[in-house]
Structure 1
Amino acid sequence: MKNFSMLLLSVFFFSCQQKENKSAPVPTSDPIITKKQVKENKQVGDTIYMDFKNEKGLFIAEGVIDSIHSRVYVKFKNEDSGNLKANIIPTTGKGNIRFNQIISPDNASDGPFGMDLNIALQQKGNYIIVIGHSQMADNPYWGKFRVEMESKKE
């Protein structure tokens, strides 16, 4: 009898300690608010993929050159032959950073260039632009920069 009363008493205590799980019902008529996704070109590892143009028709991206990624590769697709104008804007204003090379879809390359690039694109396809510091100058650039590119049809 003593064991039975102890069992009953423990069941009573455990049942009193259980909390009710009452949550307010979620109204189904509330609209779900979604944020408008902004399409932007981002650096992933050592590569910037230029996939999106802004409202002015420019490809714009921010990149970083550091001791791990001493070169940054900008990849973009050219749909029509025309001219490419591009420039690099370091966050510090000046620095030893430049367009080292441009590689066309047939793997032909040209360069080096400066912080500004103005070149005719004769082929359709995927291009790669290599950004880095000049090996002939002192003080390699480490830090953030901005790349702006504009492709105009002929």
Structure 2
Amino acid sequence: MKFIITLFLSLFLFSCQQKENKETPQTSVDNAEPVLAPENKNEEETKENKQIEDTIVMSFKNEKGLYAAEGSIDSIHSKVYVKFKNEDLGKLTAKIITTTGKGNIRFNQVIYPDKSSDGPFGMDLKIDLNQKGNHILVIGHSLMADNPYWGKFKVELENK
């Protein structure tokens, strides 16, 4: 009788430990390669930098020669990762433009190809790029200020 009780108890505890993973897989911060679009889409749609979940991959320049994209921050995605590949050393100038003009949103961090980082910054960013490779800009709100920004924004990058 003790054996049956022990068996049922261990089966019950084992079944309680099993959890289903229904979450979508997280995007890797290391992989900054753009996702290729199918061939049947027209060329205008494939030349946009779009936010997918919490990541914006900057692959295409606009008519002004800037990397530009629209993104949004909400309670689920409180940080947005902007990935770009730097081929030339120089200066990076970046801006966050909100629909309201101001808000509690900023460049929280820059992650360099050697995994070192720098930050925080404001809504404007001017830094020297001394390394070639994949860089990541982390956009979010300041934890030291009230009223986090939720909504749409535009980000523009220029590498001189």
TM category (shorter chain) comes to: 0.7 to 0.9
Alignment-derived partner of residue 49 in structure 2 = 41
Root-mean-square deviation over aligned CA pairs = 1.1
How does 1:13-92 map onto structure 2 within 5 Å?
35-38=42-45, 39-92=47-100
How far residue 37 of structure 1 moved from its aligned partner, in angstroms, is 2.4
Equivalent in 133, 136, 141 of residue 133 of structure 1? 141
Correspondence 1:151 to 2:159: yes
Alignment-derived partner of residue 123 in structure 2 = 115
Mapped partners of 1:56, 1:37: distance in 2: 16
Letter in 1 for 2:70: E
Give percent identity, aligned residues only.
74
How far residue 56 of structure 1 moved from its aligned partner, in angstroms, is 1.6
- Name stretches of at least 5 consecutive residues in structure 2 with no aligned partner: 1-40
> In the TM superposition, what whole-angstrom CA distance separates every residue of 1:106-150 from its partner, at most 9, and x where no partner exists?
001000000000000000000000000000000000000000110
Correspondence 1:103 to 2:108: no
TM-score, normalised to structure 2's length?
A: 0.72
TM-score, normalised to structure 1's length?
A: 0.75
Structure 1 residue ranges, 4+ long, deviating more than 6 angstroms after superposition:
none
How far residue 94 of structure 1 moved from its aligned partner, in angstroms, is 1.0
Letter in 2 for 1:135: L
